[in-house]
Every structure is written in C-alpha cells, then in structure tokens.
C-alpha cells in the first residue's frame, strides 16, 4: 500500500506555475515610454534599485522581462511599449509560461523580420 503511492509518478507543481499572469487584449494597449527611464514598482522588481534606463536595449530587456513575468495588466500597459516589445521579443527570453501565453495571444510576435 505505501509502496504503491511512492512508486507512482505524479506531476510536480512548481510555485512559479501558480502565479497568475496578465496579458492585455491588444498589443496596441501597450503604451509604455519610447525612451527615458522606468521606475518599476516593488511588486514587479524586488531590488533596491528599480530605476531602469530604457535607452539601452539590455536594460529595457531586463525591465520588460520582469514586467511580463510579475506585472499586472495595468503595469504591462503602462511600462511596455508595443513597438519595442515587437522589436525585442526574440531577445527577451521570458519564462516558458509567459512566452507561450504571449505568443498564443499575439502570434505576430513569433514572426520576425
């Protein structure tokens, strides 16, 4: 009896898989700044310095990845710029859950010129 329950393979549930993810209805809803700085809320980025210079692609990628993985729909729409997201999507490498959700909702993200 005890051996049967231990020998059966059950799928593991990871904490990250329980976190709700947000996604807007349309990419056009993403109205983040084109340049300048992003001051992310503590709920999105848990570090002392949450001030990102988004004139640099590497800093924008780091900020966008955190926003996509931890932000609310309001955060995503306020901080992410649609044109920059389209351009940087191949370099973002979000978590598999985020990538699947966004590419399912917006298949145009998978078509890069």
pLDDT digits (tens, 9 = 90+) for 55-108: 999 999 999 999 999 999 999 999 999 999 999 999 999 999 999 999 999 999
| Any domain includes 59 | yes
Choose between 85 and 1: higher pLDDT.
85
Q: Which domain holds residue 81?
A: 49-113
| Any domain includes 57 | yes
CB 101 within 8 A of CB 24: no
Torsion sign across C-alpha atoms 71, 21, 88, 29: negative
> Which is nearest to 41 in space by CA: 52, 30, 26, 29?
52
| Any domain includes 55 | yes
| Any domain includes 101 | yes
pLDDT at 34: 94
| Lowest-pLDDT choice from 1-5, 37-41, 88-92 | 1-5
| Any domain includes 37 | no
- The number of domains in the chain is 1
| Any domain includes 21 | no
User: What predicted TM-score, i.e. pTM, was given to this entire model?
Assistant: 0.82
Strand, helix or coil at 10? coil
> Which is nearest to 88 in space by CA: 67, 66, 57?
57
């Amino acid at each position: 009896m005890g051996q049967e329950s231990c020998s059966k393979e059950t799928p593991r549930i990871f904490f990250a898989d329980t976190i709700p993810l947000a996604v807007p209805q349309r990419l056009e809803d993403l109205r983040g700044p084109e340049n300048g700085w992003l001051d992310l809320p503590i709920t999105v980025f848990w570090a002392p310095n949450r001030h990102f210079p988004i004139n640099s692609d590497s800093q924008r990628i780091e900020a966008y990845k955190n926003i996509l993985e931890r932000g609310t729909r309001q955060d995503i729409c306020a901080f992410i710029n649609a044109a920059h997201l389209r351009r940087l999507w191949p370099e973002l490498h979000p978590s598999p859950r985020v990538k699947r959700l966004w590419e399912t909702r917006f298949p145009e993200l998978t078509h890069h010129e």
